[in-house]
Structure 1
Amino acid sequence: MALDAAVLALCAKELSAALADARIDKIFEPTRDEVVLNLRTRTDNPRLFLSARSGSARACLTKETFENPQTPPSFCMLLRKHFTGGRLLDVRTLPDERILFFDFQCTNEMGDTVVNTMAAELMGRYSNLVLVQTKNPANPAAEGKIIDALKRVDFEDSEVRQLLPGLAYTLPPQPQKASFLGVSAAGIVAAVSQKELPVAEALIKTTGGVGPVVCREAAYRAFGGRDVTASRMTEQEKAALLEAVAFVQAAYADGGTPVAVVVDGRPVEFSFLPLTQYSGADLVEYGSYSELLESYYAAKDKAERLRQKSRDLAKTVHNLHERAVRKAAARREEQAQSAASEELRVYGELLSANLWAIQRGAKNVTLTNYYDGKEVTIPLDVRLSPSANAQKYFKEYKKKQTAARMLTELIAESDAEAEYLATVQYEVETAEGEAALAEIRAELKSQGYLKYYKAKDKKQKPADFLRYVSSDGFPILVGRNNAQNDRLTLKTARGRDVWFHVKNAPGSHAVVLSGGQPVPDTTKTEAAVLAAVHSSQNGGAKVQVDYTEVRNVWKANGAKPGMVLYDPYETAVVTPDPALAERLRAK
């Protein structure tokens, strides 16, 4: 569900108490929709997380670590200019509005004290973060001037409300609905009774300030699973709805309880009161609203951040792979045409043997093919003599023969390039962060696929291998990308160590470090499962994994990163098991 005004108001109270007199120490913008403020209080160093992403907009304290871009975005630099060192004065919200205002006392470039406000508008796909300079520092709630917005809104985007630097900040238009938490329970029941709709839908249509899940909860508490039409409620049913609405209002007034509904280990809803409408589901209570929001959105946000960071690189690698596949197909087609070169040789021989019968300037000539006795019509170039036409066919024949020999090597190169880029494509899709993506970019630059800019490109510290420990106590290392695969197999591993790789598909190299000891079958099976998990075949039921000792693995001259040859080898058939990989992960 989206964050509603009720949960947001309770979250604001929590943040106001936790961040009293906090000062901004550092500001980061991990992705284009997220901002992290490192704060300092007298007793702690909390981090405030603000997200304007449409599917997971929120404001809460966070303990998560973020990878920041090497070059701060322009909006991050603007935030640092106007807010670094600022002292938090207040965290406030407005009734039934999904907007949090963070008022900071800051110092401008002239040394004057000013009050700057971050307005976190958490309204689904219209979510935004607006920076406002308050006109009256003594009254931060007064209308101010927009410094800038994370997502600028001009006249083409909205005729009603624009968010551009220099304009006055105004609140978004508010629908004319009764406040669920501000109007008496009797007033809400009276308004709902006018609607020819099921009670839950009538509550959603007539009230504001809470999300649909709270309206459904009130209806469920009143009538259980029964479908009751609002305009046809009996007096007894109205009394039941009145009691349910009053209960929800009382729960909010008491500060509520941060609760999430968990189905199959995954949170599906959250609110400020226990949601009894989800029978059979688990209700998990949290110590704070920040913990609730972090838990609810964590996995979704992590995937979205990686998708944003890898989007451009994934598109580039996809295009490179498609180009390599097209190149190989074109060369095969050209090779097929070269296979018909024998006909050119025959044409040349027939013309040479019958020069006396060919008239100069003729467009074609029909001659008897002395190889099979059949007549054949040979096209001629009217600009050339009969002898020159014969030489032309001989030259084309030699050209096709040479092309056929070269195309065999070129097709092998194109196939190898397509296979290599398929492995890079898999690496981009499974990259776990900015460091992994940076290593892939460096690899592509070293192979000439991306341009290298010496002034801009900073050297990255190479990431470590993925480390596991088998149930028999043997270390198992897994490469994260092609560069790591080369380093692991050709430099780190030793001759008696056992090497694993999924058969005929992109994937990581896995190596069991034997330390000179025989490797048990249990460890081999676990390493094969890890190789399958870290491959493009990780969704399969039965995956073939080749394995051999490292001394049987070598790299051909000129081979791309991560591409090796091995012989002899054995093949195991395993089922990918991410749960096993998690259990074996070295702590």
Structure 2
Amino acid sequence: MSFDGSFTHSMEKELTSLLATGRVSKINQPYPNEMLLTIRAHSKNRTVLLSANPSYARVQITKIPAANPAVPNNFTMVMRKHLSGAILNSVNQLDNDRVLQFHFSGRNEIGDQTSLMLVIEIMARHSNVILVDENTNKVIDAIKRVGSDVNRYRTLLPGSTYVNPPKQDLLNPFELTNFEMIQKIVAQYPNVDVLAEQLRKTLQGLGNDTSLALATSLHKTGSLEDNFKAFFKQFDNPIPVLSELANNKINFTAFPYPDTIENQKYDTLSELLDAFYETKAQRDRVREQGSVLIAVVRKQLKKNRTKLKKLDKDLAQTEHADTFRIKGEILTTYLNQIQRGSSEIELPNFYDENRPIKISLTNSISPSENAQKYFKKYQKLKNAVKYLDEQIVLTQSEVDYFESIQSQIELANPEDLVDIRLELEQEGYLKNHDQHKKAKKNRQKINKPERYVSTDGTEILVGKNNLQNEKLTMHTADKRETWLHTKNIPGSHVIIRSFDPSEETILEAANLAAYFSKAQHSTKVPVDYTRVKNIRKPNGTKPGFVIYDNQTTLLVDPDETKVKKLKSK
């Protein structure tokens, strides 16, 4: 499951065949460490993703849409200035390392010919995207600038000389002609796992999974040289596949590796990476961009859950209130038998004649005052019950609210975080740093809900957060349309834009409601549906909170495949 040098070798060939001689038409940077280049080649527009994400660094052609920021950053502007309209001459890999070089030719502002190299270095947290002037070998800019205080050997700042990453003292397996060293290693290390480790120390561009697959192949019968060449020849003619490993993890490879269970094959490496990274990378982007929101929600949940436990404990203590009343009544009845200065007395219990009751006394006050003291304790606890009940309801509603926000963040696309941030600012849980600006400028437009189309062509809208939910249900939807939501589970509001939807459409919409809820990974999820006219929002409640009646309940199993099918229509 690594974008190693050997996989990069295959990707270089795919990119060359699909993009060579293409012209750059669009440049965007939707996320801090990721760049999108739209290149028109062979009469087709293809979007190239250059990712320097520490966890998911890669290069590929992607079909996954991304929302671009309203204002491009400085690096994007530099890229547009130099690469807009440039022609891609070639794509080259540096040895068998995880470095790809895109060579462009273009023209500057005065019409002079320029030669540019866009370098993507896939090196975990050191991954980078660097634009270099090939005529001078000077760095124009980098998506992650690296100064001399971070790396003295290799600075990546505008105007600095570009230096390739340190060369590894390893053999390039695609250029190997003498196999004596490999034969010695195989003979010395019969254990496959140990052999794989030694191969990684000898050959360039082998990840853990690739080295293990190579070690297994070299132990097969036949010529070691033939097995070696046959293994690496497969990278020149890839059969992209998602495979299941023995530990139930999913792995992407350029071709089926030994000892793995084939899961699904793809036409291109880029389609394979889209399928593998779509959810993983999206969640990572949400965690990265929504870190502040996640921290606020976790803090509020922790605070309110702790408060709820304390309130429940205090409420439990009020169950003993009658004991104080009984002691006060008994003391009042037998006042004449109590001597001032006593610290304890045993008296008949007229509520339980067979069991006398021992009552603790304060020896510094009179018997009558002791009785009044017990009555006051009783009254205080009785008054506390009403207050505690109210506080428990309010605190539980806060817990439910932040659990729904937490669920929405987990299901959110990066662009949905804007609405969630706005909501937390409006509710006072997050400081609005623009609060001193004019209210008109501060007014923010809520993103549109997700749009899906049922099998029979009916439009279905899905709110992805509370502000979208409220706008969709209370303002966008017609009173005669159908509304769906998971029963007693945080989730999205779903609207079927039809006055008389078919049963099939209702089931498909129910699947959407279950999928975009906290119960996404559950089975037999209850989903309520009713007409929008039966939905009401009580005054003073949180965004997205509604009550409803006349509902019908369905049980559905969330199905991601069906969701994607409805989205693609």
Q: Give the corresponding residue for 2:175.
A: 182
CA drift of 1:505 comes to 1.9
Q: Give the corresponding residue for 1:35.
A: 35
SS of equivalent residue, structure 1 residue 558 = coil
Q: Give the corresponding residue for 2:411.
A: 430
Among candidates 520, 535, 553, match of residue 571 of structure 1? 553
- Aligned pairs for 1:373-392 (under 5 A) are 374-379=357-362
User: How many pairs does the alignment contain?
Assistant: 545
- Aligned pairs for 1:151-230 (under 5 A) are 171-187=164-180, 191-192=184-185, 195-197=188-190, 201=196, 203-209=199-205, 224=220
SS of equivalent residue, structure 1 residue 322 = helix
Aligned equivalents of 1:187, 1:179: Cα separation in 2: 15
Say whether 1:503 aligns with 2:483. Answer: no
Q: Give the corresponding residue for 1:554.
A: 536
Among candidates 392, 408, 413, match of residue 394 of structure 2? 413
Aligned equivalents of 2:378, 2:288: Cα separation in 1: 53
Do the aligned partners of residues 12 and 581 (structure 1) sit closer, same or farther apart at CA in structure 2, a change above 3 Å counting?
closer
Q: Deviations over 1:257-315 (max 9, x none)?
A: 34312448x984433xx55747874895746x656655554454334333433443233
Stretches of structure 1 lacking an aligned partner (at least 5 in a row)? 227-236
Do the aligned partners of residues 61 and 429 (structure 1) sit closer, same or farther apart at CA in structure 2, a change above 3 Å counting?
closer
Say whether 1:53 aligns with 2:53. Answer: yes
SS of equivalent residue, structure 1 residue 259 = coil
| Counterpart residue identity of residue 444, structure 2 | K
Q: Deviations over 1:86-133 (max 9, x none)?
A: 56787554323322345789999xxx999886543213x354216587
Do the aligned partners of residues 385 and 492 (structure 1) sit closer, same or farther apart at CA in structure 2, a change above 3 Å counting?
same
SS of equivalent residue, structure 1 residue 541 = coil
Aligned equivalents of 2:459, 2:80: Cα separation in 1: 48
Aligned equivalents of 2:463, 2:404: Cα separation in 1: 12
Aligned equivalents of 1:400, 1:418: Cα separation in 2: 26
* TM-score, structure 1 normalization: 0.73
Q: Give the corresponding residue for 2:316.
A: 336
| Counterpart residue identity of residue 376, structure 1 | I
Checking the alignment, whether the CA contact within 8 Å between 1:89 and 1:104 is kept in structure 2 is yes
Aligned equivalents of 1:195, 1:371: Cα separation in 2: 93
Aligned equivalents of 2:229, 2:306: Cα separation in 1: 67
| Counterpart residue identity of residue 430, structure 2 | L
Do the aligned partners of residues 151 and 329 (structure 1) sit closer, same or farther apart at CA in structure 2, a change above 3 Å counting?
farther
- Aligned pairs for 1:268-287 (under 5 A) are 268-271=251-254, 275=256, 277=258, 281=262, 284=265, 286=267
Aligned equivalents of 1:325, 1:280: Cα separation in 2: 44
Aligned equivalents of 2:453, 2:25: Cα separation in 1: 40
| Counterpart residue identity of residue 2, structure 1 | S
Do the aligned partners of residues 331 and 26 (structure 1) sit closer, same or farther apart at CA in structure 2, a change above 3 Å counting?
same
Say whether 1:324 aligns with 2:322. Answer: no
Aligned equivalents of 1:298, 1:126: Cα separation in 2: 20
Among candidates 356, 363, 381, match of residue 400 of structure 1? 381
Aligned equivalents of 1:251, 1:572: Cα separation in 2: 49
Among candidates 494, 501, 526, match of residue 544 of structure 1? 526
- State percent identity of aligned pairs: 28
Q: Give the corresponding residue for 2:144.
A: 150
Aligned equivalents of 1:113, 1:12: Cα separation in 2: 26
Say whether 1:483 aligns with 2:463. Answer: no
Aligned equivalents of 1:286, 1:427: Cα separation in 2: 34
Aligned equivalents of 2:378, 2:539: Cα separation in 1: 33
Checking the alignment, whether the CA contact within 8 Å between 2:486 and 2:514 is kept in structure 1 is yes
Aligned equivalents of 1:113, 1:352: Cα separation in 2: 109
Q: Give the corresponding residue for 1:77.
A: 74
| Counterpart residue identity of residue 128, structure 2 | L
SS of equivalent residue, structure 2 residue 526 = strand
Aligned equivalents of 2:275, 2:462: Cα separation in 1: 29
Aligned equivalents of 2:187, 2:448: Cα separation in 1: 64
Say whether 1:96 aligns with 2:96. Answer: yes
Do the aligned partners of residues 257 and 299 (structure 1) sit closer, same or farther apart at CA in structure 2, a change above 3 Å counting?
farther
Checking the alignment, whether the CA contact within 8 Å between 2:405 and 2:465 is kept in structure 1 is yes
Q: Give the corresponding residue for 1:229.
A: none
SS of equivalent residue, structure 1 residue 179 = coil
Aligned equivalents of 1:572, 1:40: Cα separation in 2: 47
SS of equivalent residue, structure 2 residue 31 = coil
Aligned equivalents of 2:346, 2:52: Cα separation in 1: 79
Checking the alignment, whether the CA contact within 8 Å between 1:180 and 1:210 is kept in structure 2 is no
Q: Give the corresponding residue for 2:282.
A: 302
Among candidates 498, 508, 531, match of residue 513 of structure 2? 531
Q: Give the corresponding residue for 1:120.
A: 120
| Counterpart residue identity of residue 464, structure 2 | R
Aligned equivalents of 1:90, 1:175: Cα separation in 2: 24
Aligned equivalents of 2:309, 2:332: Cα separation in 1: 34
| Counterpart residue identity of residue 408, structure 2 | E
Checking the alignment, whether the CA contact within 8 Å between 2:27 and 2:35 is kept in structure 1 is no
Do the aligned partners of residues 323 and 570 (structure 1) sit closer, same or farther apart at CA in structure 2, a change above 3 Å counting?
same
Say whether 1:469 aligns with 2:454. Answer: yes
Stretches of structure 2 lacking an aligned partner (at least 5 in a row)? none
Aligned equivalents of 1:294, 1:532: Cα separation in 2: 24
Aligned equivalents of 1:79, 1:314: Cα separation in 2: 28
Aligned equivalents of 2:479, 2:460: Cα separation in 1: 15
SS of equivalent residue, structure 1 residue 208 = coil
RMSD over equivalenced CA pairs, Å: 4.9
CA drift of 1:320 comes to 2.0
* TM-score, structure 2 normalization: 0.75
Aligned equivalents of 1:341, 1:429: Cα separation in 2: 45
CA drift of 1:50 comes to 1.8
Aligned equivalents of 1:38, 1:586: Cα separation in 2: 21
- Aligned pairs for 1:427-466 (under 5 A) are 427-431=408-412, 433-452=413-432, 453-454=434-435, 455=437, 459-466=444-451
| Counterpart residue identity of residue 527, structure 2 | V
CA drift of 1:174 comes to 4.5
Checking the alignment, whether the CA contact within 8 Å between 2:49 and 2:60 is kept in structure 1 is yes
CA drift of 1:378 comes to 2.0
Aligned equivalents of 1:100, 1:486: Cα separation in 2: 47
Do the aligned partners of residues 466 and 402 (structure 1) sit closer, same or farther apart at CA in structure 2, a change above 3 Å counting?
farther
Checking the alignment, whether the CA contact within 8 Å between 2:344 and 2:358 is kept in structure 1 is no
| Counterpart residue identity of residue 566, structure 1 | Y
Aligned equivalents of 2:139, 2:455: Cα separation in 1: 61
Checking the alignment, whether the CA contact within 8 Å between 2:496 and 2:509 is kept in structure 1 is yes
| Counterpart residue identity of residue 393, structure 2 | A
Aligned equivalents of 1:148, 1:564: Cα separation in 2: 49
SS of equivalent residue, structure 1 residue 59 = strand
Aligned equivalents of 2:558, 2:275: Cα separation in 1: 27
| Counterpart residue identity of residue 207, structure 1 | L
SS of equivalent residue, structure 1 residue 85 = helix
